[in-house]
Structure 1
Amino acid sequence: MRHALLSAALLYLASAIAIAAPVSEERLLAAHEEGDNWLSHGRTYSEQRFSPLAQVHDGNVDQLGLAWFFETDTHLGMEATPLVIDGVLYISGAWNTVWALDAKSGQRLWKFDPEIPREKSISACCGVINRGLAAWGDALYIGTLDGRLIAIDRATGEQLWSQQTTDPDQPYSITGAPRVAKGKVFIGNGGSEFGIRGYVSAYDADTGEFAWRFYTVPGNPADGFESEAMERAAATWSGEWWRQGGGGTVWDSIVYDPELDQLYIGVGNGAPHNRRIRSPGGGDNLFLSSIVALDPDTGDYLWHYQEVPAESWDYTATQQITLAEIPWEGAARKVILHAPKAGFVYVIDRASGKLLSAEPFTTVTWASHYDLETGRPAEVPGQDYDGKAAMVYPSAMGGHNWHPMAYSPDTGLMYIPELDMGMLYDEIEPVDYRHLKRHFNTGYKLNHDGYSQRFTQALLEHLPKASLLAWDPVKQEAAWKLPHPNIHNGGVLATAGNLVFQGTSDGRMLAVQADNGEPLWSFATDNSVMAGPVSYRVDGEQYIAVAVGRGGALTMNTGRSYPTGNPNNRIMAFKLNGSAALPQTPEVARLEPPQRLDVSATDLAEGRQLFNRYCARCHGADVSGDGSIPDLRNLEPVWHENFEAVVLEGLMEEAGMPHFADVLDKDQTRKIHAYIIERSHEDFNLRQETGWLQSLRDFGADISARALAWFIRFTTG
């Protein structure tokens, strides 16, 4: 009887989805008037991430409580922004799984699994994550890790069509959310670090038929150019750049401007990052690190603004592009507001691409200022690490990465998840990236003994900082700043209730007063929050919802200590007087490390080097991961017993752990294993320490505590 009632309820809910209104062009154009819904990635085509709902406001937000939560079946990273359409919340997660949930109760309606081949995890820069969906008509759209664009029936979760948008034999991936406008779905891709050529494509939303493609960097001139734009771009490159791909992937921001009928794409970094290897004769290397305006019907080039000519620091322009109309020199101006990795807030005329303002919002050392006449930065001598290593701010992680920012037309402020962090850049000799197999093609040192030691010293001198930053684009200055204890904090939502919502890496959901930055409310989420929150209304009640789960480039690589285990990713929704509660997550038992292997110090050093080359981007530099992927310092004995089978024979390939038999032999694998065991002993011993050092470790990043421990031992003998 109970199962019959449940089935009847699910059928009723499915029928409710079926009769929901299609997401038409008219609805998307008027999305600013639909406060009950969140119809597209940034709520409206402007991507301001501003909700007009004000039932929850700065006077009653302290009454906010958990309304419901939905627990997924994985802890592999959660970065997606949900869509909420007519009472149903749609969310995508690891391996491109999609769930439809009742937006009032959190009850699951359907689940879609595109069955990504697990070995594709090796082609993903920063985890098997996904940042969201698009909606058009009665369909949803998702880009997959293996390069497909899939249309899903919004009512049933069944696949409608699928298109392979990338060459499956090349290391492309898709982690960004598609965008839809004028009956077309627009999708980019990632993979620049592995030496590929970037582009953005358009497909018919109804049929999946290919419409057009715009390449962001030129290919081999001998093959001819796809467009006049590519011929023009080729004049800004030198050498044989196409042999190393060129990069320029459009891995996140794609925005349609209905007022000007233009499509804006944010273009990524070069491949390799180091411009002297990529383009040895110089040149600006168009269209790297640029915002490019295209005709949405044809994909034809309209204009561009290059934020970092000849970029050499992984300074992508793929971060969120926000459209706004602001007062500028006595008149209303239609602008793009952009706060990308390079550390400047760019205000750009969106009709012409003219730079109006570029001011640093975080610590910046690579450039001193911008010339507004030419639109070009004034680079600081020595910061391009030409022949001499340089400590540069921001780091390759950027002053602001993919985590969504917000803009409030009520306050006129941008709200930016700021990361204030530098990095040592030290170039390497040119190498053929094809021989690097599975290794990032950066053109500078990622990790070795000398680098690690100097990086440790840099950490001691200036530990990374993070904040929620409110920026006034008209005054071109910060309005207020709320510091956070840890880096890699979540995306941002602004509302008409004079509120800004943000999750943090140390497991809190915050509400802050939008006009002055005063913290008003906090909820312990039991896990990191990286994604951007949304707001919607069902049956007269306003909800705030967010995807909760750690993972991604920075936390996977630097790691940090958590007081509890790593629960599965969850979707959490809050409302006034919500009374739901999260289950308790038990503490993780630290296992006794296995016996050390009989290897030399030289073998351990080689094991460390090999680990950081092939394993660190998932399991963390120096085996200091965040737990979203197994913490190798705390492995069960069975995995030590089968270590070689996992690494060389693909024992866990179906779970997403690829084999490395094509790049490692048994001797190298044993050295990696020995190094992991050594780190297990170091970690176990560190966790046994008491007092303020242990407290610091629990409070901050593992690498910071290790650096401080090293410093104490070095200075005290």
Structure 2
Amino acid sequence: MMTFRNRLFAACAALALAACGTSGEGIDNDALRNAAADTANWITYGRDYSEQRFSPLDQINTENVGELGLAWYADMDTARGQEATPLVIDGKLYVSTAWSKVKAYDAKTGALLWEYDPEVPGETGVKACCDVVNRGLAAWGDKLYLGTLDGRLVALDRETGAEVWSKVTVDQSKSYTITGAPRVIDGRVLIGNGGAEYGVRGYVSAYDAEDGEMLWRFYTVPGAPDEAASEPAYLKAARETWNGEFWNLGGGGTVWDAMAYDPELDLLYIGVGNGSPWNQAYRSPGGGDNLYLSSIVALRPKTGEYVWHYQTTPGETWDFTATQHIMLADMEIGGTTRKVLMQAPKNGFFYVLDRATGELISANNYVPTNWASGIDMATGRPIENPEARYDKTGVPFVASPGAGGAHNWHPMAFHPGEGLVFIPVIEAGFPYVPEANWQPDPNRGFNVGIDMAAGGLPADDNVRRGAAAGTRGALIAWDPVTQTERWRVQYPGPWNGGVLATGGGIVFQGTAGGFFKAYGANDGRELWSFAAQTGVVAPSITYTVDGEQYIAVMAGWGGIWALAPGGVLNETSGPVPNISRLLVFKLGGTATLPPAPPLQRRPIDPPPFSGTQAQLTQGTYDYGRYCGQCHGDAAIGSTVLPDLRRSATLDNQETWMMIVHDGALASNGMAGFSQSLSRERIENVRQYVIYRANEDKRIGGIGLQGS
């Protein structure tokens, strides 16, 4: 049941909301600053500016959650990964889907009110490292704001879904994408972007919410030398930490997800991503911290002025982004109430910072780490294992965590009554194999500076099974004051969903295995489970309509783990399909899903391998660099995109060329690769896939995704 402390909080919140009068039609500063008090609605990505994803609602609680049932559901028209957090405003639910589409529903009945399609060109899909996903919307006044995969920021009329204005925020000739949710502060819409794996320079921008005029832009890494004289002081300082001609490779540092805001301090916090390429030996020969990669940066939201930064991984070379969820809280540490910022970035360490100054308060690893033994509290820097620096040694290193991170984009949640942060954890290593004489490809190539064919999961089925056995996921309850784990729920695989905590003493989370579950916030006991028929990676929200509490979550297996490593087994057996839906629950809900359709997959029945060893060698490399991020390591595909081992085009070289070289299926997201690969090399890729298919057919074709 809800504690007295949480009931008191909820009562005070309701009074604050009534006093502020923030439940009207327009979303303004008062509404956003007091969003934590607005239990009926969910008006910004993390529920409020602190991004705690905690709601004091307790109508659904530990005693009655077993009575939770499906209230309504809505099928999506995009069979790709679904990662969005819905917004709820005045009884209407708004959600973005894959391919940057938007839908509006009656939050009580599920009636579709309107839908919007920005018509993202299909060929944009190959620019997205990690599926054509979208994580959410922002609201201000009577408008909604959407970042599209092809780099536009779009304002929509909230009532009708009509487009009000649209601004291109990136150089669309480069491999920029937007998958993250915008935020709005005082009429300024904030948006970042992704694309560091393909050679771009990161930044975050602010646009006027009314007309889309760009107000400021904050670059996270320095630019070309001819920009040095006019750079602000923070970039001049950063330039001293770089070497070589880094600007020719983009530099990276994209701001593709995390943001938070403290209205009292008037500080915006952004999370900065990895370097481009990953391998620092190519990006910045001679080393250097490479500011502001893998950093948390505090800015003034009115001007974009730099205030402070904390770098989680200096000289990053492992794709250890700091773009993961940033959360703010006030908590007692050492007998003093501290205003803190918390983050569990990819590198495996949980950080607690003073959010006014950026001072490191504490840090500890929340998963086993072998790339660093700890954090030096005097300097705030990781105590690195020298062997982990494959960029310096030239020797392959299997790092834990790996490039997927110990925690990826999936949001955490904080329960103030329990004093716990709930983290969706990934336990997986990754082999970093430095590539000699690596060359960038500004077109379609995965520009990371390591051998992706050698660094991905191996083709050998027994080795893959061993890797799968050592790859797990968990939901852990982390005490940020003591920096210790309180409890955990272990999962057989990674890539489980984002988290919601409620005043009813419940933590909600979806799983990669196809379930949506409720756990006790104090002890992790499983209290309720719903078979969603697909992997649930998105975080859930809660809201009320007419005094009744609802829980809503997007379901739909996808994202980088579903695509690149070939997916995971679900909690019973077999591969997990994508069935994209919005699921909404309430106590006593009686709606039911239709029977799950059978997962129909072509058999692995390839033509005989007719290539040469030279073709196989080149095809292995090219597949790893150009194809594996969508079609799976070692050509062991997912259920989201075509498994090429099963493709009928393997029998027909002409058809293969029409698709892979000419781009015959570009409108579906399969752009042609003629800019990067000759017909001869594309044929080598076909021969590699044929070889792999024959190998898997010979051993039973099991891999990680079933036969």
TM-score (norm 2): 0.91
Q: Does the 8 Å CA contact 1:136/1:205 hold for their aligned counterparts?
A: yes
Tell me the distance in 2 between the aligned counterparts of 1:553 and 1:449: 16
Question: 1:278-677 maps to which residues of 2 (within 5 A)?
Answer: 278-385=283-390, 386-433=393-440, 435=441, 437-448=443-454, 452=458, 460=466, 463-560=470-567, 563=574, 566-592=577-603, 593-636=605-648, 640=652, 642-677=655-690
Question: Aligned pair in 2 of structure 1 residues 486, 590: CA closer, same or farther (>3 Å)?
Answer: same
Residues 115-141 of structure 1, C-alpha deviation per residue, up to 9 Å, x if partnerless? 111111121111111111000010000
Question: Aligned pair in 2 of structure 1 residues 639, 537: CA closer, same or farther (>3 Å)?
Answer: farther
Q: Does the 8 Å CA contact 2:557/2:579 hold for their aligned counterparts?
A: no
Deviation of residue 597 (structure 1)? 4.9
Q: Does the 8 Å CA contact 1:322/1:338 hold for their aligned counterparts?
A: yes
Deviates more, 1:102-111 or 1:345-354: 102-111
Q: Does the 8 Å CA contact 2:279/2:317 hold for their aligned counterparts?
A: yes
Tell me the distance in 2 between the aligned counterparts of 1:65 and 1:536: 15
1:53 is the counterpart of 2:64: no
1:382 partner SS: helix
Residues 333-378 of structure 1, C-alpha deviation per residue, up to 9 Å, x if partnerless? 0000100101011000000000001100001111111122221111
Residue of structure 1 aligned with 2:47, choices 27, 40, 43: 43
TM-score (norm 1): 0.90
2:327 partner SS: strand
Question: Aligned pair in 2 of structure 1 residues 436, 208: CA closer, same or farther (>3 Å)?
Answer: closer
**Structure 1 counterpart of 2:541, one-letter code:** V
Q: Does the 8 Å CA contact 2:458/2:634 hold for their aligned counterparts?
A: no
Residue of structure 2 aligned with 1:135, choices 127, 134, 139: 139
Tell me the distance in 2 between the aligned counterparts of 1:406 and 1:652: 40
Deviates more, 1:246-255 or 1:647-656: 647-656
**Structure 2 counterpart of 1:318, one-letter code:** T
Residues 388-416 of structure 1, C-alpha deviation per residue, up to 9 Å, x if partnerless? 22121110110000011111111110000
Question: Aligned pair in 2 of structure 1 residues 349, 449: CA closer, same or farther (>3 Å)?
Answer: closer
1:611 partner SS: helix
Q: Does the 8 Å CA contact 1:509/1:522 hold for their aligned counterparts?
A: yes
Q: Does the 8 Å CA contact 1:48/1:322 hold for their aligned counterparts?
A: yes
Deviates more, 1:215-224 or 1:528-537: 215-224
Question: Aligned pair in 2 of structure 1 residues 673, 687: CA closer, same or farther (>3 Å)?
Answer: same
Task: Please name the residue that 2:254 is paired with.
Answer: 249
Question: 1:682-693 maps to which residues of 2 (within 5 A)?
Answer: 682-683=695-696
Tell me the distance in 2 between the aligned counterparts of 1:564 and 1:582: 20
Tell me the distance in 1 between the aligned counterparts of 2:340 and 2:538: 25
Tell me the distance in 2 between the aligned counterparts of 1:121 and 1:589: 24
1:23 is the counterpart of 2:27: yes
Deviation of residue 668 (structure 1)? 2.7
Tell me the distance in 1 between the aligned counterparts of 2:102 and 2:651: 31
Deviation of residue 431 (structure 1)? 3.5
Task: Please name the residue that 1:9 is paired with.
Answer: none
Tell me the distance in 2 between the aligned counterparts of 1:382 and 1:665: 37
Tell me the distance in 2 between the aligned counterparts of 1:68 and 1:458: 40
2:661 partner SS: helix
Q: Does the 8 Å CA contact 1:471/1:478 hold for their aligned counterparts?
A: yes
Task: Please name the residue that 2:226 is paired with.
Answer: 222
Q: Does the 8 Å CA contact 1:430/1:443 hold for their aligned counterparts?
A: no
1:264 is the counterpart of 2:277: no
Question: Aligned pair in 2 of structure 1 residues 638, 445: CA closer, same or farther (>3 Å)?
Answer: closer
Q: Does the 8 Å CA contact 2:80/2:578 hold for their aligned counterparts?
A: no
Tell me the distance in 2 between the aligned counterparts of 1:685 and 1:290: 47
**Structure 2 counterpart of 1:393, one-letter code:** S
Q: Does the 8 Å CA contact 1:596/1:674 hold for their aligned counterparts?
A: no
Q: Does the 8 Å CA contact 1:75/1:566 hold for their aligned counterparts?
A: no
1:275 is the counterpart of 2:280: yes
Tell me the distance in 2 between the aligned counterparts of 1:448 and 1:636: 27
Tell me the distance in 2 between the aligned counterparts of 1:339 and 1:565: 27
Deviates more, 1:494-503 or 1:672-681: 672-681
**Structure 1 counterpart of 2:444, one-letter code:** R
Tell me the distance in 2 between the aligned counterparts of 1:450 and 1:677: 18
2:247 partner SS: helix
The root-mean-square deviation of aligned C-alpha atoms, in Å, is 2.2
Deviation of residue 223 (structure 1)? 2.4
**Structure 1 counterpart of 2:316, one-letter code:** E
Residues 485-543 of structure 1, C-alpha deviation per residue, up to 9 Å, x if partnerless? 11111101101110000001110001000001111111110000111111111122111
Tell me the distance in 1 between the aligned counterparts of 2:147 and 2:478: 32
Deviation of residue 288 (structure 1)? 0.8
Deviation of residue 644 (structure 1)? 1.9
Question: Aligned pair in 2 of structure 1 residues 603, 290: CA closer, same or farther (>3 Å)?
Answer: same
1:447 partner SS: helix
Deviation of residue 601 (structure 1)? 4.8
Residues 664-685 of structure 1, C-alpha deviation per residue, up to 9 Å, x if partnerless? 3333333322333444445556
Question: Aligned pair in 2 of structure 1 residues 53, 328: CA closer, same or farther (>3 Å)?
Answer: same
**Structure 2 counterpart of 1:250, one-letter code:** V
How many residues align structurally?
675
Q: Does the 8 Å CA contact 1:23/1:135 hold for their aligned counterparts?
A: yes
Question: Aligned pair in 2 of structure 1 residues 498, 450: CA closer, same or farther (>3 Å)?
Answer: closer
Q: Does the 8 Å CA contact 2:575/2:639 hold for their aligned counterparts?
A: no
**Structure 1 counterpart of 2:590, one-letter code:** S
Q: Does the 8 Å CA contact 2:146/2:153 hold for their aligned counterparts?
A: yes
**Structure 2 counterpart of 1:613, one-letter code:** R
Deviates more, 1:650-659 or 1:366-375: 366-375
Question: Aligned pair in 2 of structure 1 residues 230, 524: CA closer, same or farther (>3 Å)?
Answer: same
Tell me the distance in 1 between the aligned counterparts of 2:414 and 2:160: 34
**Structure 2 counterpart of 1:39, one-letter code:** I
Residues 274-332 of structure 1, C-alpha deviation per residue, up to 9 Å, x if partnerless? 22221112221111111000011110110111111111111100001000001011011
Tell me the distance in 2 between the aligned counterparts of 1:516 and 1:277: 47
1:193 is the counterpart of 2:197: yes
1:633 partner SS: helix
Q: Does the 8 Å CA contact 1:150/1:163 hold for their aligned counterparts?
A: yes
Deviation of residue 455 (structure 1)? 11
Q: Does the 8 Å CA contact 1:163/1:208 hold for their aligned counterparts?
A: yes
1:407 partner SS: strand
Percent identity, aligned pairs only, is 48
Tell me the distance in 2 between the aligned counterparts of 1:236 and 1:287: 9
Task: Please name the residue that 1:3 is paired with.
Answer: none
Question: Aligned pair in 2 of structure 1 residues 294, 564: CA closer, same or farther (>3 Å)?
Answer: closer
**Structure 2 counterpart of 1:333, one-letter code:** R
Deviation of residue 175 (structure 1)? 0.8
Q: Does the 8 Å CA contact 2:495/2:511 hold for their aligned counterparts?
A: yes
Tell me the distance in 2 between the aligned counterparts of 1:665 and 1:682: 26
